[in-house]
A = this chain, B = another copy of it.
Amino acid sequence: MSRYIVEITYCTQCRWLLRAAWLAQELLTTFEQDLYSVALRPGTGGIFEVRLNDELIFSRKEAGRFPEAKEIKQLVRDKVDPDRHLGHSDKTTTEN
């Protein structure tokens, strides 16, 4: 059984549930066999944070922007299955 849990905390006041749910589905599609679960967690105050097994891997406040799905996939891949190639999600933004 997979031991990796992703948690996406989103600001309910900002109505970021749809964005968080989109990202959850992107991760669950790419890492179907690798993740135990992806949790959506309501928050407040402009929060949009992604955690992998309680480790913060993306914070909107720190980055000053929202994450792209591909960069979260790369960060998760680096922990979960470092040798895997993610196809077009491994290209940099300027290559697309």
Contact = CB atoms under 8 A, between A and B. Distances in A.
Copies in the complex: 2
13 contacts: A7-B37, A17-B25, A17-B29, A18-B25, A21-B21, A21-B24, A25-B40, A36-B41, A37-B39, A37-B40, A37-B41, A37-B42, A38-B39
A78 interface: no
Contacts of A41: 36-37
A21 B25 contact: yes
A47 interface: no
Interface string A67-89: 00000000000000000000000
A32 interface: yes
Nearest to A12: B32
A52 interface: no
Interface string A17-61: 110010011001100110111111110000000000000000000
